[in-house]
Amino acid sequence: MAENIYKPYLMKIGSIVEETPDVRTFRLIFKNPEDAEKFSFKAGQFGEYSVFGEGESTFCIASSPTRKEYIECTFRKAGRVTNALANLEVGDTVGFRGPYGNTFPIEQWEGKNLLYIAGGIALPPMRCVIWNTIDLRHKYKDITIVYGARTVGDLVYKQELKEWSERPDIKMITTVDPGGQTPDWKGETGFVPMVLEKAAPSSENCIAILCGPPVMIKFTMPVLKKLGFQDKDIYTTLENRMKCGFGKCGRCNVGKVFVCKDGPVFSYEQILSLPEEY
């Protein structure tokens, strides 16, 4: 029988990291080794994660495709499925369908400087491509990461932030919103756009990858433009509610563009051509 496209892989939770009080990262291991063998994905793609009995929820694969033994996902407790996911323990089963969607064009970026800008829970969809390019470090020139969250407690991947900031080949800027700092906070204090403006990375031969809440995007875009970035050199991801993941259920389209098929990765140039339906 041909494949049931709605049938998820069964995954075992290998480990759980509590990133913040309401954000968790799961490491998921294929229960069936054959599935693991067959499975491959690229940076930027997403999947449908399910708790049987509660339903499915969409988020990006947060681990790098260069690490083949597992996939990781990071989610915030928000609705029915993510609440159910958060109640699971190591060893429990979840479902995973994917990978779906397009990818960050990292091959095209080879030989360029990369500027990653993320806010809050938007680092996970970017983490995949960050690790992907770090693992292929020799192909890229300078890598700069600007990451901000409301408070120190809201920063995700604290271990990795530390690791990245300690690497000599990555310029890491972490910031928290004013008032969100703790006494021993050593990073920047200020909103992402301001911090970015202060750091003023060169737009010369540089690709900017931007993910964050709409308000952050809104204020960061002018800064990027001021720094000289062109629309086609800025990438971001869109999120819309979706059910199927392959362009049938009719939810995620922005105009005629399916976020699940043509996205989630879009250049800012593409975004400008889309109607405002996201």
Partner 1 sequence: METIRKLIRKQSLEKLYNNLAANRKVYAPVIAADKKAEYKYNPGFADVTFDHIRSTLSVKNIVFPKVENLFFYENSKTESTITDIDLDKIPEVVLWGAHPCDNAAFDTLRSIFCWDTKDEFFSRRLEKLTVIGLGCHSSDEYCFCTSVGLSPSSSRGSDILLTKLQTGDYQAEILTAKGNEIVSSFPDLFEPLTDEKVDITEVKQKFSHKQVTEKLAGAFEHEFWIANSLRCIGCGACAYVCPTCACFDIQDETKGKNGKRYRSWDSCGFGLFTLHTSGHNPRHVQSQRWRQRIMHKFSYMPDRNESLGCVGCGRCSSGCPVDMNIAEQLEALQNI
Partner 2 sequence: MDNLILRAKELLENKTVQVVIGYEAGPTGVVRPAFISDPANADSLIYDERCVQNLAVYLTKPEVKHLGRIAIVSSLPVMRSIMMLISEQQISYDEIVVLGISADGVLLDIADLSVMQGYIDKSDLSNPVKYKELLAELKKLTPAEKFEYWQKELSKCIKCYACRQACPMCYCTRCTVEVNQPQWISVQSNAHGNMEWHILRAMHLAGRCISCGECGRACPVGIPCHLLTMHLTDQVYNYFKVYAGTSEKMNSVMSTYEPNDKESFIV
- What is the distance between the alpha carbons of residues 38 and 276, in angstroms, rounded to a whole number? 37
Decide: 67 and 128 in contact? Cβ < 8 Å.
no
Is 194 strand, coil or helix? helix
Residues that bind partner 2 (CB under 8 A): 55, 79-80, 83
Nearest approach in angstroms of CB 78 to partner 2 is 11
Comparison of 83 and 181: residue with beta carbon closer to partner 2: 83
Comparison of 82 and 253: residue with beta carbon closer to partner 2: 82
Comparison of 82 and 132: residue with beta carbon closer to partner 2: 82
First to last CA, the chain: 37
Residues that bind partner 1 (CB under 8 A): 1-8, 10, 50, 52-56, 78-79, 82, 89, 91-93, 95, 214, 239-241, 243-244, 246-256, 258, 261, 275, 277-278
Comparison of 78 and 215: residue with beta carbon closer to partner 2: 78
Comparison of 1 and 166: residue with beta carbon closer to partner 1: 1
DSSP tally for the chain: helices H, then strands E: 7, 15
Comparison of 195 and 244: residue with beta carbon closer to partner 1: 244
- What is the distance between the alpha carbons of residues 176 and 7, in angstroms, rounded to a whole number? 41
**10: partner contacted, choices partner 1, partner 2, none (Cβ within 5-8 A by kind):** partner 1
Tokens of 173: 């800027």
Q: Tell which residue, 52, 54, 60, 62, has the closest CA to residue 10.
A: 52
Comparison of 7 and 138: residue with beta carbon closer to partner 1: 7
Tokens of 145: 């990461």
**98: partner contacted, choices partner 2, partner 1, none (Cβ within 5-8 A by kind):** none
**2: partner contacted, choices partner 1, partner 2, none (Cβ within 5-8 A by kind):** partner 1
**83: partner contacted, choices partner 1, partner 2, none (Cβ within 5-8 A by kind):** partner 2
How many residues are given for the chain? 278
* Phi and psi torsions of 235, nearest 5°: -120, 150
Nearest approach in angstroms of CB 80 to partner 2 is 5
Give the full edge-to-edge strand order of the sheet including 23-30: 55-60, 46-51, 93-100, 9-20, 23-30, 71-76
**159: partner contacted, choices partner 2, partner 1, none (Cβ within 5-8 A by kind):** none
**250: partner contacted, choices partner 1, partner 2, none (Cβ within 5-8 A by kind):** partner 1
**254: partner contacted, choices partner 1, partner 2, none (Cβ within 5-8 A by kind):** partner 1
Nearest approach in angstroms of CB 3 to partner 1 is 7
Tell me how many degrees the CA angle 33-35-36 measures, rounded to the nearest 5: 65
- What is the distance between the alpha carbons of residues 241 and 250, in angstroms, rounded to a whole number? 10
